Structure 1
Amino acid sequence: MDARFTAEQEEIRRTLRELLVKRCGPEEVRAAVRSPAGYDPALWDALAQQLGLPGLALPEAYGGVGCSVTELALACEESGRALAPSPLLSTAVLAAPLILALGTGAQRAELLPLLASGELTAALAVPGARLATALGLVGDNRGDWSGGGRSGGVQARRADGGWRLYGQAAQVLDGHSAGLLVVAAHTGGFVRTRTLLFLVRAREWDAVRLEPGAGVGAEAGAAVRARVESGGGLVRVRQTALDGTRPQARIELRDVEAELLGDEDADVSGALAGTGDVAAAVLAAEAVGAADRVLERTVEYVRQREQFGRAIGSFQAVKHRLADVYVAVQAARSAAYYAAWAAGAGADAGGERVGGLALAQALEALRTAASEGIQLHGGIGFTWEHEAHLYFKRAAGDELLFGPVHRLRGYAADLAHLFDRGADGGSGRGGGNRAEVAV
């Protein structure tokens, strides 16, 4: 592994940072969050058309740039610094890899060029709060987490030579605005239960209804907006989210026509787990970028804020706290970069799946950096007007969606058989004996 960045990778970072500094400051972020889409369409066009970010890790044969996961992670590290609201994560990190891995030749040829250009955005719809499980980050994703029978979720059945979907999926990232939904649904009944992925082509949405009282605390994306697709049985409701820079929606499917992604024998669980490892590495880099920016802002502030006739940054206690944050951020950065390389290298990395561990370390670093930033900013750090709370909410929101941290680490330990006794080969997940750890 060569840890040095290439000239192309450095150029990606520099160009994207310059663009986001000019067009995605704190006020622009707040304005984008309050918009119906939850992001700035003009900025998204610049990211997609000028820089080609949605297609950065897609093959050139499908209109992509042909780069690796590392380049995508570096780009998301810069977007994380600015907390830039965009459908990049849902489109390029969650949906596009699944279509690339499972789609038929016709599906890939039709959809991937549109996703790579940013003309089409997509979202992965998973029932309930099970996104981390579906992606194989906190547990085995080969269970019936997609629902079935009376357990809720989303069900699929054959009808008139096609497929129809019924059910509901909550906490769908960018689900209210995406033009394409990749829906995980249960099929096969009780005889051959399994989870398959389906494509739902959402119609152009323009009519937006604001619920009474929505808009209070809009900086956090508190506005709840709904859109009912005419005649299709698809209801999409933008929900209140802790982190307004990550818009979420509830998707209701009422006899909705859908197209099977790939074929019925596809390894859906394996594709989701592979996508989850890449997504974890990218999210870790994004969290590192956010943590680094919080640390920078806090250092700038303590150098200027004076108390007892001297800058508070000169106090030893403040120096120690910021030094601890710096060490945590640098460690998380190393883990994120290695996870991105390992996810891109695949078999060359020995089949390692280290994305979950890197994500856990990065989220913990961001939470620590944001907490210390709020504390060291004093009274202003607790106000809505300051941006510190946005970074804290990003850490908390990502942990709710993709964690929590202790489950990310726990499952990674299970995969590595860290607590197996060794003698009987038992696994912590598979019912084997766990080693006793003395404290």
Structure 2
Amino acid sequence: MSSTAELKELASTVRAVLAKHGDRDVLRRAIDGEAGYDPALWTLLCEQVGVAALAVPEEFGGIGAGLVEALTVVEELGRTLHAPPMFGSAVLGVQALLLSGATEACERLLPEVAEGGRTLAVCWADATGWDTPGVHVEDGKLTGTAHYVLDGDTADTLIVVTADGCYEIDAAAPELTRTTAPVMDPTRRLTTITFTAAPANRLGGDPQAITRLREIAWATLAAEQVGAADACLQMTVEYSKSRVQFGRPIGSFQALKHRMADMYVLVESSRSAAYAVIADLARGSADPLDIAAARIHCSRTFATIVGETVQMHGGIAITWEHDAHLFFKRAHADAQLFGQPPRPLARPA
């Protein structure tokens, strides 16, 4: 695990690249249904920062840094709402491969993933969510439909989660069809992939590995939500300094100061919760209750923060030209992505 100083340097580097090369027009075009990501930005992040290689072990051609470093990048991407294949491929896809224990597949696929030349997508959910895989195995072939697939429209290789373990299949296989439909969050494309008796390479894996994959997904979402919530807070603070009402900046009004202070407390408490479970996951000692608690708290925080952002920006926040509505949609979509913990959290007395 990197030191705090090294993680801050990584975050600063990614933030600088996004600020200089992140095309905001990509997000603006998302409103018109042309969502996706800027391939040039992804190439730059991979070549100059090595983001795709962070969670890939050295023996498979990666940097071997780990989850903490990879999710530091995800947090920075959350600040801008850019959605290159970091979450779906460089985090979930890589972790699904590693958890499957398929050494041959890791040796064959991960070096290209680390270089940014190959992207992965994890096919998992059925129409109702992530509790039951949408794809099953019949006579050794994949049949069924996987819903809400991150980066599924651009992936080169699909990692399919089934009740019998994980499978690998080429995304260009003729036995599958990919459909990308409009969703709540236009800045993140989710794909539906249907398999019709598709031959695939079995990787392995067991129910415990799949449980860990969901925990990683929740921790990754928490990191993204912290970054996005912090961006909304900073956006609101800056606006309160420039927006004048009754001859004074609105940020000087005590009522708004209190609301922004409450926003700050929410962001920092969510950051603490997310960082704690990410560090525990990286060490292999994460408590499922802690992960579920972080999942819930970060989701609620992001929704609350973005709601305050819209209110304190006033009318401008509900226009297409402002980014507030994009953060609002990301917050409510993230709250559903990969499902919620199945029951209220409580520890035995």
**TM class by smaller structure:** over 0.9
Q: 1:313 aligns with which of 233, 246, 251?
A: 251
Match of 2:212 in 1: 274
The question of 1:344 aligning with 2:248 is answered no
The code of the aligned residue for 1:297 comes to: M
Q: Give the number of aligned pairs.
A: 349
Report the Cα offset of residue 127 of structure 1: 3.5
Which structure's residues are more often helix, by fraction?
A: 2
Q: Is the 8 A contact 2:124 2:161 kept in 1?
A: yes
Identify the range of structure 1 (29-38 vs 19-28) with the bigger mean alpha-carbon deviation.
29-38
Q: Which residue of 2 aligns with 1:62?
A: 60
Cα displacement string for residues 312-358 of structure 1 (whole angstroms, at most 9, x for unaligned residues): 111111111111111000100111111111111114x6x56522221
Cα distance between partner residues in 1 of 2:253 and 2:106: 58
TM-fit CA distance, 1:184: 2.2
Q: Tell me, which stretches of 5 or more residues in structure 1 are unaligned?
A: 134-144, 147-152, 186-193, 204-228, 423-439
Quote the sequence identity (%). 40
Unaligned runs of 5+ in 2: none
Distance 2:315 2:30 in 1: 26
Describe the superposition over 1:9-52 as per-residue Cα deviations: whole angstroms up to 9, x where unpaired.
12211110000011225334334776867111111111222211
Amino acid at match of 2:318: F
Q: CA deviation at 1:131?
A: 5.0
Q: Distance in 1 between matches of 2:31 and 2:148?
A: 16
* CA RMSD between the two structures: 2.2
Aligned pairs for 1:136-151 (under 5 A) are: 145-146=132-133
Q: What residue is the counterpart of 1:156 in the other structure?
A: 137
Bigger Rg, structure 1 or 2: 1
1:202 corresponding residue in structure 2: 171
**Contact 2:126/2:147 (<8 A) preserved:** yes
Partner of 1:125: 123
Q: What SS does the corresponding residue of 1:261 show, helix, strand or coil? A: strand
The corresponding residue for 2:298 is: 362
Match of 1:224 in 2: none
Does the CA-based 8 Å contact 1:233-1:255 persist in structure 2? yes
Inter-CA distance 115–34: structure 2 relative to 1 (3 Å threshold) = farther
Letter in 2 for 1:259: N
Q: 1:297 aligns with which of 197, 213, 235?
A: 235
In structure 2, do the counterparts of structure 1 residues 89 and 34 end up closer, same or farther at CA, with 3 Å as the change threshold? Answer: farther
Whether the aligned pair in 1 keeps the contact of 2:243 and 2:249 (CA below 8 Å) is yes
* Structure 1 segment 420-435 matched on structure 2, within 5 A: 420=348
Judged with a 3 Å threshold, the aligned counterparts in structure 2 of structure 1 residues 411 and 91 are, in CA distance, closer, same or farther, namely farther
Indicate if the aligned counterparts of 1:93 and 1:275 stay in contact, CA closer than 8 A: no
Counterpart CA distance in 1 for 2:324 and 2:85 is 23
Tell me if the contact between 1:32 and 1:40 (Cα under 8 Å) persists in the aligned partners: no
* AA at the equivalent of 1:300: E
| Deviation digits for residues 143-187 of structure 1 (CA, Å, limit 9, x no counterpart) | xx23xxxxxx322123xxxx32221112111112111111123xx
Quick one: distance in 2 between partners of 1:85 and 1:31?
13
Q: Tell me the amino acid that sits aligned with residue 28 of structure 2.
A: R
Counterparts of 1:104-119 in structure 2 under 5 Å?
Answer: 104-119=102-117
